[in-house]
Amino acid sequence: MSKTFMWNEKCERMSRSELENLQLGRLKTLIESLYKKVPFYKERMDKAGVSASSLKTLADLKFFPFTKKTDLRENYPFGLFSEPLSNVTRLHASSGTKGKPTVVGYTKNDIDMWSEVCARSLCAAGARPGDILHNSYGYGLFTGGMGMHYGAEKFGATVVPASGGRTQQQILLLQDFGARILCSTPSYALNIAYTMEELGIKRDTIKLERGIFGAEPWTEELRSQIEDKLKIEALDIYGLSEIVGPGVSMECAEGRNGLHIWEDHFLPEIIDPVTGDVLPIGEEGELVFTTLTKEAIPVLRYRTGDISRLSLETCACGRTTARMQRVRARLDDMLIIRGVNVYPSEIEKVLLALEELSPHYQLVIDRRKALDVLSVQVEVTDELTKQWGHFDNDCVEFSNLSTHIQTLLKDNLGITADVQLMKPKAVPRSEGKAVRVVDKRKEDKSQAESAAVKTPVSKH
Ligand SMILES: [Zn+2]
């Protein structure tokens, strides 16, 4: 077996004891610095009765307070920064769809570290210096585009900064520039595949061999569909802007079973999302990260809301870092339909297992007569409409198929849903991040809220 090519073998193959020593030292420095520089953390640690001297071993981290997304929002924009803005090279922010955006900053060292972990990730995915890399992650305030871009430049790839959207032009660039690596959301990769098919563009006119996909939870079933349609190897990358952006962890091409966490920079924990207790290695729970080397806005025990589990088993690639399992669900994405909790990814799993359906779907939730109604809108395949010679939701073949899907959703997930079969191309395609859920209950609520804000208050 040929030796695995690693970007930074020294850090990626450390022994557990060497790594834990390094982590403990960095963690102590971090906690001292947060206590001194960020009033928010000083207050939280004082309240919990902990300080850097409470930290004898890594396990003592469990006594320290968590940081949540709401803490970043409440301290908008720069309240959790450890460095003055004069030391901050770049700012990024979340889209802020649920209120004020969360803002993150990077010093020059932070950008270097971020590029380093992205370079490691590219290497783990089987990219090689000299590769042409087509980057369809969005450029802008979102961390995806720039994060991978800098990582790929450091790595020595030739980067095509395509960003999202204008899919036909992107396909032209893929054909003419000959990229071997594609970075995008999984839903956008699927959009590229389907657009090529619709335009009658042959697969052998593009040279893609591997895809590095992230920024959305996705299932094994979706991976199979992408690999089948685009004829590439599809690998999972993980990250979130509060920790650094893409490149917190990466699935390796050799193992394809869990994502290697770059643990010398990001310390993972798995907790019970209800009690906050740390769970033993191997158990499923909420992922929590502490940044060990970040300067501008380090975070202590950040609750990601992502459900996963950790493994310390040796990997086929020879890397020794902990691996996290593909994120199964995001707590934020959980839908409650008539009292039943369900994640969009669980519905995706059921839908994508059926060969009559294409992987384009949307979940629409509305409230009718005080009851939540979930409508699953999913496209049937082109082949099916050709085979049946028509598209009519009322005819017997279609209504049998809808009923079959309804039964599967009820049996597997316990939910009652209206299933609406859609013609090919009827569901809006992803231009970056897919819109999987349209929650009309929230739309009504936010419209009512914004109307209330706009109503002038009488001062008489
Ligand atoms: Zn591996």
Ranges of each domain in the chain: 1-332, 334-449
Taking the centre of ligand 1 as the mean of its atom positions, its distance from the CA of residue 263, in whole angstroms, is: 14
What token pair was written down for 356? 């009559």
Predicted confidence (pLDDT) per residue in 322-344, tens digit: 999 999 889 988 898 888 889 99
Taking the centre of ligand 1 as the mean of its atom positions, its distance from the CA of residue 323, in whole angstroms, is: 8
- The neighbourhood of ligand 1, an ion, using CB within 5 A, equals 252, 255, 315, 317, 319
Mean pLDDT in the chain?
92
Same fold, 1-332 and 334-449: no
Contact 430, 188 (CB under 8 A): yes
458 pLDDT tier (thresholds 50, 70, 90): very low
Q: Cα-Cα-Cα-Cα dihedral of 214, 217, 221, 227, to 10°?
A: -10
Instruction: Indicate if the pLDDT at residue 8 is higher than 90.
Output: yes
DSSP per position, 23-76: HHHHHHHHHHHHHHH-HHHHHHHHHHT--GGG-SSGGGGGGSPPB-HHHHHHTT
Alpha carbon 263 to chain centroid, angstroms: 18
Topology (CATH level 3) of domain 1-332:
Rossmann fold (3.40.50)
pLDDT of residue 449: 44
360: helix, strand or coil: strand
445 pLDDT tier (thresholds 50, 70, 90): low
Predicted confidence (pLDDT) per residue in 101-126, tens digit: 899 999 999 999 999 999 999 999 99
Taking the centre of ligand 1 as the mean of its atom positions, its distance from the CA of residue 254, in whole angstroms, is: 6
pLDDT of residue 396: 87
Topology (CATH level 3) of domain 334-449:
GMP Synthetase; Chain A, domain 3 (3.30.300)
172 pLDDT tier (thresholds 50, 70, 90): very high
pLDDT of residue 3: 78
Which is it for strands 357-368 and 437-439: parallel, antiparallel or unpaired?
parallel
Q: Cα-Cα-Cα-Cα dihedral of 448, 449, 455, 460, to 10°?
A: 130
Segment 346-361 mean pLDDT = 94
Identify which has the larger pLDDT, 145 or 398.
145
Predicted confidence (pLDDT) per residue in 80-107, tens digit: 999 999 999 999 998 766 678 899 999 9
Q: 49, 55, 100, 50: which is closest to 75 by C-alpha?
A: 100
Q: In what order do the strands lie in the sheet with 285-291?
A: 266-271, 285-291, 302-308, 329-330
Contact 290, 24 (CB under 8 A): no
pLDDT of residue 453: 38
How many CB atoms sit inside 10 A of residue 274's CB?
8
Of the listed ranges 5-19, 138-152, 294-308, 381-395, the least confidently predicted one is 381-395
Instruction: Indicate if the pLDDT at residue 180 is higher than 60.
Output: yes
Taking the centre of ligand 1 as the mean of its atom positions, its distance from the CA of residue 4, in whole angstroms, is: 9
Predicted confidence (pLDDT) per residue in 202-248, tens digit: 999 999 999 999 998 899 999 999 999 999 999 999 999 999 999 99
Segment 254-277 mean pLDDT = 97
pLDDT of residue 340: 87
Taking the centre of ligand 1 as the mean of its atom positions, its distance from the CA of residue 442, in whole angstroms, is: 41
Locus of tokens 């968590």: 66
Taking the centre of ligand 1 as the mean of its atom positions, its distance from the CA of residue 404, in whole angstroms, is: 39
pLDDT of residue 452: 41
Instruction: Indicate if the pLDDT at residue 35 is higher than 70.
Output: yes
Taking the centre of ligand 1 as the mean of its atom positions, its distance from the CA of residue 259, in whole angstroms, is: 8
